Amino acid sequence: MRPGKQSGRLVLPVGLALCLLTACGGGGRLPVTAPTTERVPTAGGASAPVAARTYDPPLRFQDGEGHDVGQGQWSGLLEGTTAYAVSEGEARAVNALDGRQLWSVKPEGQPMDRVVFGIEDIAAPRLVEVGGKRALLAAFTITEPGSGTTPDRHLVELTAIAADSGERLWTTRIARPAGQEDGELYFAGADAGTAVLTFGSEIDPVTVGVSLSSRRTAWTEKGFQAVFVDGGVAVGRGGADPEGGGGTGTVEGRRAADGTKAWTYRSELDTAEVKQAGEGLFTAVVDVPSPTGGNTATLLSAATGKEPAGLDAAKALGAPSALTCWTGEGTAVVCDAETESTEQVVALDPANWTRLWAISEDDESRLMPSVSAVFHGAVYGETENGYAVLDARTGKDRGSGPGSPPFSVNEYAGLFRAALGTIEVHPAVG
């Protein structure tokens, strides 16, 4: 595995996951703009004018130590000049330009004690509209203390937090499904009306939809492990049978509103891995039982469970056995594709799915980057020389710098991973 390459392992956490659904910006690269003044929320919810220069896309970031967003097990996301972050016991917002903490929210109930897992425990932050306000949804596992002969009980505390001020808009407590009174919780995602939570492991998963209007459980699906929500569809692995030994049976999509099945991609699978690519697309890597064995991978639509119209993924990507892709607001779809013999970064034109460019690990003239993010026509990745920024349409170098690349980027800043899951934000400077 090359330096900086992210593992595709999905770990389902016991503690907190946070969900905000954001709408991506328009396609195409934009020119660097003149300095603009944006009103940045302060810790008390008021706003103060701060001169924020935009670089769209940014090619360089502030050197040295960045501003801490979260130390330890955190996940983060940028929106405007704000970095949102979540851990198992807290949600917070930090000014991406100067590192000021804007607000912090912790569960009202007693957080559940848990064993520390790896840095992939925490789901990425997302945003959703709640009562006409931009809100961050946070799901905490809490313990309701027992009394007398009544034992402690573990619940889910679901909270809607105003993204600008940190005000609690509402908080509700959700009972865990039968058979999942303890163990892992993962916040798969949300749409305008439903939050989707997954309990348990891939052997015995249960996925629950919670109505954001009634704030109660709307549906429950045993054997389904939702991984993400996109366009009103919860995408994940289905068909798990704990009594028969567990395991994955299908890759499927279920409607977030009511849990009914929208589509099935493959069935009778030994294993399956799905990853959200963005803009309604995702990758699926599956192991179909066969005499020869081995994985097959492709790029699919979250709406249909099929390859996008006009795409022959096996031809365009070289019949990969492992695949991760990033979308670029209409400029390109960039993929890291592995086969049994080689690995390459490939850019496809989403208009007709033709190949724009590729860099292979066998290329003696260029170092293949380990891609971490794509934003407004720029591809961010890591080589042995540090981070590199490539043009998404041509593959040519546009910028470089020391250290690791950002995993989340906008026109103001980048989020970077430090040791043991710590997240830092570095303002863009060029």
pLDDT at res. 363? 92
> pLDDT per residue over 118-138, tens digit each?
334 567 777 999 889 999 999
Least-confidence region, from 14-23, 146-155, 353-362: 14-23
pLDDT bucket at 326, cuts 50 / 70 / 90: very high
Give Cα separations from 233 to 189, 206, 237, 301, 373 (angstroms): 10, 16, 13, 10, 23
Amino acid of residue 128:
V
pLDDT at res. 7? 35
Characterize 235-252 residue by residue with b for buried, 16 or more Cβ atoms within 10 angstroms of its Cβ, and e for exposed: bbbbbbeeeeebbbbbbb
pLDDT bucket at 2, cuts 50 / 70 / 90: very low
More confident residue, 107 or 4: 107
Which residues neighbour 138 within 8 Å (Cβ) at sequence distance 6 or greater? 16, 18, 19, 86, 91, 105, 158, 159, 161
Give Cα separations from 422 to 67, 232, 356, 416, 428 (angstroms): 11, 31, 35, 8, 19
With 60 as the cut, is the pLDDT of residue 40 above it?
A: no
With 50 as the cut, is the pLDDT of residue 10 above it?
A: no
pLDDT at res. 259? 98
Phi, psi of 315 (to 5 degrees): -75, -45
Rounded Cα–Cα distance for residues 202 and 152 (Å): 26
With 80 as the cut, is the pLDDT of residue 293 above it?
A: no
Q: Shortest CA distance to 94 belongs to which of 72, 77, 110? A: 77
State the CB neighbour count (10 A cutoff) for residue 418.
Answer: 15
With 80 as the cut, is the pLDDT of residue 117 above it?
A: no
Long-range contacts of 190-194 (CB under 8 A, 24+ apart): 190/19, 190/21, 190/126, 190/128, 190/137, 190/229, 190/256, 191/21, 191/128, 191/229, 191/231, 191/232, 191/256, 191/257, 192/128, 192/129, 193/256, 193/257, 194/218, 194/256, 194/257
Q: Give the dihedral sign, CA 370/375/379/381.
A: negative
Q: What is the 3-state secondary structure (H, E, C) of the chain?
A: CCCCCCCCCCCCCCCCEEECCCCCCCCCCCCCCCCEEEEEECCCCCEEEEEECCCCCCCCECCCCCEEEECCCCEEEEECCEEEEEECCEEEEEECCCCCEEEEECCCCEECCCCCCCCCCCCCCCEEEECCEEEEEEEEEEEECCECCECCEEEEEEEEEECCCCCEEEEEEEECCCCCCCCCEEEEEECCCEEEEEECCCCCCEEEEEECCCCCEEEEEECCEEEEEECCEEEEEECCCHHHCCCCCEEEEEECCCCCEEEEEECCCCEEEEEEEECCEEEEEEECCCCCCCEEEEEEECCCCCCCCCCCHHHHHCCCCEEEEEECCCCCEEEEEECCCCEEEEEECCCCCCEEEEEECCCCCCCCCEEEEEECCEEEEEECCEEEEEECCCCCEEEEECCCCCCEECCCEEEEECHHHCEEEEEECC
pLDDT at res. 297? 94
Residue 406 region by backbone torsions, left for phi larger than 0, else alpha for psi between -120 and 50, else beta: beta
With 80 as the cut, is the pLDDT of residue 114 above it?
A: no
Q: In the chain, pLDDT over 90 holds for what percent of residues?
A: 63
Q: Tell me what the mean pLDDT of segment 408-420 comes to.
A: 90
pLDDT bucket at 344, cuts 50 / 70 / 90: very high
pLDDT at res. 115? 42
Task: Quote the tokens at residue 308.
Answer: 């996008």
pLDDT bucket at 156, cuts 50 / 70 / 90: very high
pLDDT at res. 399? 94
pLDDT at res. 187? 92
The residue with tokens 């996951």 is: 17
Which residues neighbour 264 within 8 Å (Cβ) at sequence distance 6 or greater? 238, 250, 251, 252, 253, 305
> pLDDT per residue over 78-94, tens digit each?
999 999 998 888 999 99
pTM of the complete model: 0.85
Task: Look over the chain and give the mean of its residue pLDDT values, rounded to a whole number.
Answer: 84
pLDDT bucket at 247, cuts 50 / 70 / 90: low
Q: In the chain, pLDDT over 70 holds for what percent of residues?
A: 82
Cβ atoms of 337 and 343 within 8 Å: the answer is yes
